[in-house]
Structure 1
Amino acid sequence: MEPSSATSGFFQSPPTIPPQFLEDTALRRIISLHLPSPTPSSVEQDLFRFSRLVLSRSHLAHAADAERNQPYLRPLTTFGVENKQDPLVTSEGWRKLQDIGIQEGIVGLAYANSQLQDGGNAGAQWNNRVYQFVKYHLWTASAAMVTCPSAMTDGAAKLLGKHLNDPDGAIFTEARNRLVSRDPGFAWTSGQWMTERKGGSDVRGTETVARKLSVQEQKASSGVDAVGHPLGPWQIDGFKWFSSATDANMTIMLAKTGSDGQISAFYAPLRKKVQGATEGETELNGVKIQRLKNKLGTKTLPTAELELKGMRGYLIGKEGEGVKEISTLLNITRMHNIIGAVGGWGRGLAISRAFAKVRVTGGKLLTDVPAHVRALARDHVMYHGQMHLSYLVVSLLGISEGQDCRLAQATRAGILPTDAQQANALLRLLTPMAKAQTALRSINGLRACMENLGGVGYLENEDPLLNIARVFRDTCVLSIWEGTTDIMADDLVRVIKSRQGPAILLAVDQWVANALAIAKHSFEREGAKLQREWEQWLQSSKTKDKEQLKWEGRDLLVGLEHVICGLLLVLDAVRDNNPAAREIARRWILQDQATYGSWEDEAAWDKMIVFGDEGTATARL
């Protein structure tokens, strides 16, 4: 027997990760539900091409470069003077990925005309938010966190779009046009600065102060931003404790105004032209980067502490309405958080499936080890539920923006309401729950995906395609970004107990009743269980006071998640009676109460759920 060596002996065959557009069953069903069926050719071709691009060696090299060459600061010039022009250094890979995201329309797709995208065909209408976030799903695990500035860019575009007719509308229009552009040479990205030393989600402790300059002061400190527009009439001073996307072109932030310290929202360019310098030379607009944060994950992303001294900007909306204004942005960034979570998890599961097809243990492929497939099946059931929840919320966002969903099967299946008021009620109630639960489920799911690969899964692999550890690290932030789980639970309670709460609950109750009416015909037992759970949840929400509901907040999130996801899985399954879809719905709802003729029957269903192989599955449907 010959001993192994560095160049001889056994070497594991590498798994082949197929494009998720073709292989991810949950994603395929989402596309068939929430985009027109059949999928418009331009959309299908684009998604297929992109799903291959994000797995290509050349593309992943950019992600590896961004991870290897992390951002750093050059705070001083050679002679010890503050470096105001280029203190932040990012990698070539990071900048390339930024450009790719812009070109691919990771933000811009949401603001495009779907008919124009399909050659002006009047029948080719779809929800651009769905198209955008399906592409985002494919992108997120290969993007080295450029999705973070994309999220804030999308939110800023939505916010500024509401103020194009304001007195400073020309400034906002220029910025918004750049935020939604797909030309890297013209496009901008945006930051979002709220978090200060006193806290993040609770903005009442904001210590940043904005003061409107007098006409004389404005003349004395005249200047223009990087594209030649006058610097804003407001001077902003303070300290921001967390600022992701520090390399952005502009930012949206909160600051206190007036003698009573009202919270107001501001737009500010990040750079201004250097007076008297060479044409085109710019420097930071009253911003000093104090230090970069050292984080568990998202290491490619330049997150910094910023000191603002004399930063110039423009008021958005009215003084004292900053929280109201910033909520528009947060609703968008939370949507990115949701899809970023399931997108990372989807990649982890794709790698797990591929690895199981090549890894042999005990003389068997992992695909033929029932215990391994059983664990995978449980995660796939949870993933399917989270995917349906995520894209319901995505579609509802599009509907709230006037997007067209009439040709989507989800409308015919009773998933998407045709009443705008009901759609808005669902969107408001479900967004905080979806943000909280997708983050928690995906973090736990990606931990399991690392385990699915054994020791290889725990490694920071040189091969970026298999680096689940990096995806896990980056995903961990999603239960914190844009509001922690408890903040999301508080937001849910705030909705329930608000003045509009009874009307929102009534609209959601009507949606649930319609879904249950469909479910009872072929999912009688499951429908009855969901109905009991919903009645208990609704009764609890109505009768308990606000403080008790906040104390029970996480239970409230889980209860709502189980009912809504269960109904979505049922509505998806009954449209085509797909055996695997029916079994997934049954398992989600009944959980440990699901019964089988034998453990072998259940194991056969496990394999079908994970790998799409019906085998000899004989479980009762």
Structure 2
Amino acid sequence: MRIEEGFQQVPLNEGNPYLHDPVLPSLLRRLIPSKFFTEIEPELERFGADVITTIRAQGTLISPPKLIQYDNWGQRVDELQTSEGWRNLKAIAQREGIPGIFYERTYREYSRLFGFSKVFMMSGDSHEVFCPLSMTDGAARVTELMGTDAMKTDVFTRLISRDPSSALVSGQWMTERSGGSDVSQTETNARPLDTSDQLGSKYSLDGFKWFSSATDGDIALALARTGPVDSGSRGLSLFLVPLRSPLLYDRSNPIPSSTSNGIYIHRLKNKIGTHALPTAELSLEKATAYLVGPLNQGVKNIVPVLNITRSVGGLRKCLAIATSIEGGKRLLRDVPLHVAQLSSINVVYRALTHLTFGVVAILGRVECGVASAEEHDRLRMFTPIVKAFAMAALGGQGYMEENDIGRLIRDGLVERIWEGTTTVLSIDLFTLKQFVSWCNSIILSCPSDLLKRVQEAIQLLQWRIDSLVAAFLHPIPPLIARPALMFMGYIASSIYLLEHATWSHIRGEDGFATDAEVFRRWVYDGGFGAVERELDRTRSESKLADASNSEIAFGRGVHAKL
């Protein structure tokens, strides 16, 4: 048989990622006032069309970056070459207002929701370009809050620029060979030069950054030691490091060399995924840098960079592919078992999307100075939850590189690395009083006729909230933080789903019955119960678990030696 004969597989047709998304349109309609939403929605529809055409087409131009360390005369040049597709995707995002939308604040506190919606839709086709742009976003927030007047004039305005020819991109350099999440052992030292220029006080940095992001960027925010070694993380300060010197050069002149500020690329990292993204090991040899914020408060000052992260857009694209694929003579949408699997994935997707955008909404309010004290606390609590919390339907097609599923899985793994381990993130959890109060306020807002539909799910959810509170009764078990963080992620996403179902029900939206059913199913999700059991087991076995864990992991007698 010739290849043209017989059954022909129908090409995937995902559709506009805004118009065909099961969550985003109604979610934004609830979160954004109508006077703004009527302006924003046509822009999102237009951008959704661009995602599946011009933006997706850039993927064919993507290839891994290359490093040329020496020229043909033996001179160190450290020339980093990135692909045309990578550069185009970065320029497209900048022109679309990432991160500009967030700081132009045309739609006040709702600008975050607008901008993140674009990130959300483009993420699956971005080849992780939002890694450097998210850090650029964070760097813009740092300079907006703590930069010198010149940094705000000359650096901040270019970090948020929509003009790719003049916009700056920032990386974040924290990780060293001595540790990633634990920066207390940072070996990079900063020495004051007792001089300054228009950007501020100059320092000389010497050290080695083991995992540098946005190596093809223009600046980086880096931690370096300004206090004694025994002061740990309290002796670290935050610095703005130009990758080339001078940073503010005349654009009509040639670009300064890659080694002009004493920054040398040791090697590019050989990563599992994010292959288009240049990540490197760098040595800093008397690199000029500028102090940002107060001395010896670097960890505190860099927090805005760490709080801004990427979305669940990769899952959005995977679900869109799985939903659009068809079978043979019988359409897969007509196969109950297949539809059941898709609906299960869809519930997870809805829960994660509501949780993510719920936190984005709070972030926008905090940045615009209109958040309540409770919302400030909730943002602090929910940020690590979202970071830690966030293909069985495709058959053979799901294993093909051409469909991008493999890349999305590989690229998605970096989120767990970049955001830190869940053990570290869980340390940020604090008082539950305001969290429980917020949960109860949403539950009490549920109208009686909707309550009849989801009453058993709400009762189970309330019982689980009580279990969470009980887990934090003194004395608090030392191993409780991680399962508690995941448990709170399930509870918080459930509350957001209930909030949306209540809004949908009161307004009589077309999908109000589906919204209620999604909430009900999520509460009964098997993962919720598994985390609950882990939480209960940790509470009951905490006294014996520490010794047992050490013995299992390292062998007999190790715990006693430690």
TM-score (norm: length of structure 1): 0.78
Residues 570 and 582 of structure 1 are in contact (CA less than 8 Å); yes or no, is this contact kept in structure 2?
yes
Alpha-carbon offset, residue 40 of structure 1: 3.0
Residue 305 in 1 paired to residue 264 in 2?
Answer: no
Residues 437 and 558 of structure 1 are in contact (CA less than 8 Å); yes or no, is this contact kept in structure 2?
yes
Partner of 2:257: helix, strand, or coil? strand
Q: What is the CA–CA distance in structure 2 between the aligned matches of 1:141 and 1:170, rounded to whole Å?
A: 37
**Cross-structure match for 1:74:** 68
Residues 241 and 306 of structure 1 are in contact (CA less than 8 Å); yes or no, is this contact kept in structure 2?
yes
**Cross-structure match for 1:433:** 385
Q: What is the CA–CA distance in structure 1 between the aligned matches of 2:272 and 2:253, rounded to whole Å?
A: 41
**Cross-structure match for 1:251:** 220
TM-score (norm: length of structure 2): 0.86
Residue 41 in 1 paired to residue 38 in 2?
Answer: yes
Partner of 1:241: helix, strand, or coil? strand
The amino acid that maps onto 1:508 is: F
Task: Summarize deviations over 1:310-344 as a string: whole Å, max 9, x none.
Answer: 11011111221011101122112xxx23x1xx111
Residue 519 in 1 paired to residue 492 in 2?
Answer: no
**Cross-structure match for 1:569:** 497
| RMSD (CA atoms) | 2.3
Alpha-carbon offset, residue 92 of structure 1: 1.0
Q: What is the CA–CA distance in structure 1 between the aligned matches of 2:80 and 2:200, rounded to whole Å?
A: 22
Q: What is the CA–CA distance in structure 1 between the aligned matches of 2:103 and 2:284, rounded to whole Å?
A: 32
**Cross-structure match for 2:327:** 359
Residues 519 and 527 of structure 1 are in contact (CA less than 8 Å); yes or no, is this contact kept in structure 2?
no
Task: State which of 520, 528, 540 in structure 2 corresponds to 1:586.
Answer: 520
Which consecutive residues of structure 2, in runs of 5 or more, have no partner in the other structure? 506-511, 528-562
Task: State which of 126, 129, 135 in structure 1 corresponds to 2:118.
Answer: 135
Partner of 1:54: helix, strand, or coil? helix
Task: Summarize deviations over 1:131-170 as a string: whole Å, max 9, x none.
Answer: 1111110111111111111110000000111124xxx431
Which consecutive residues of structure 1, in runs of 5 or more, have no partner in the other structure? 116-124, 219-223, 405-418, 439-447, 594-621
**Cross-structure match for 1:183:** 163
Q: What is the CA–CA distance in structure 1 between the aligned matches of 2:304 and 2:55, rounded to whole Å?
A: 33
The amino acid that maps onto 2:345 is: D
The amino acid that maps onto 1:511 is: W
**Cross-structure match for 1:28:** 25
Q: What is the CA–CA distance in structure 2 between the aligned matches of 1:271 and 1:588, rounded to whole Å?
A: 50
Residues 245 and 256 of structure 2 are in contact (CA less than 8 Å); yes or no, is this contact kept in structure 1?
yes
**Cross-structure match for 1:445:** none
Q: What is the CA–CA distance in structure 2 between the aligned matches of 1:314 and 1:7, rounded to whole Å?
A: 64
CA separation of 1:467 and 1:181: change in aligned 2, threshold 3 A: same
Task: Summarize deviations over 1:456-491 as a string: whole Å, max 9, x none.
Answer: 211111xxxx31111111111111112122221222
CA separation of 1:230 and 1:510: change in aligned 2, threshold 3 A: closer
Task: Summarize deviations over 1:572-602 as a string: whole Å, max 9, x none.
Answer: 1122331111111111113479xxxxxxxxx
Partner of 1:519: helix, strand, or coil? coil
Task: State which of 447, 456, 460 in structure 1 corresponds to 2:397.
Answer: 456
Residue 268 in 1 paired to residue 205 in 2?
Answer: no
Counterparts of residues 219-298 of structure 1 (less than 5 Å): 233-260=202-229, 262-273=235-246, 279-284=253-258, 285-298=261-274
Residues 173 and 212 of structure 2 are in contact (CA less than 8 Å); yes or no, is this contact kept in structure 1?
yes
Alpha-carbon offset, residue 376 of structure 1: 1.1
Partner of 1:386: helix, strand, or coil? helix
Alpha-carbon offset, residue 427 of structure 1: 0.9
Residue 91 in 1 paired to residue 83 in 2?
Answer: yes
**297-306 or 284-293: bigger deviation:** 284-293
Task: Summarize deviations over 1:346-390 as a string: whole Å, max 9, x none.
Answer: 1110111110xx322xx5211111111111111111111111111
Count matched residues.
509
Alpha-carbon offset, residue 201 of structure 1: 1.0
Residue 470 in 1 paired to residue 397 in 2?
Answer: no
Q: What is the CA–CA distance in structure 2 between the aligned matches of 1:230 and 1:558, rounded to whole Å?
A: 43
Counterparts of residues 146-165 of structure 1 (less than 5 Å): 146-164=129-147
Residues 252 and 268 of structure 1 are in contact (CA less than 8 Å); yes or no, is this contact kept in structure 2?
yes
Residue 386 in 1 paired to residue 355 in 2?
Answer: no
Residues 109 and 365 of structure 2 are in contact (CA less than 8 Å); yes or no, is this contact kept in structure 1?
no
Alpha-carbon offset, residue 126 of structure 1: 5.5
Alpha-carbon offset, residue 541 of structure 1: 1.8
Q: What is the CA–CA distance in structure 1 between the aligned matches of 2:218 and 2:73, rounded to whole Å?
A: 27
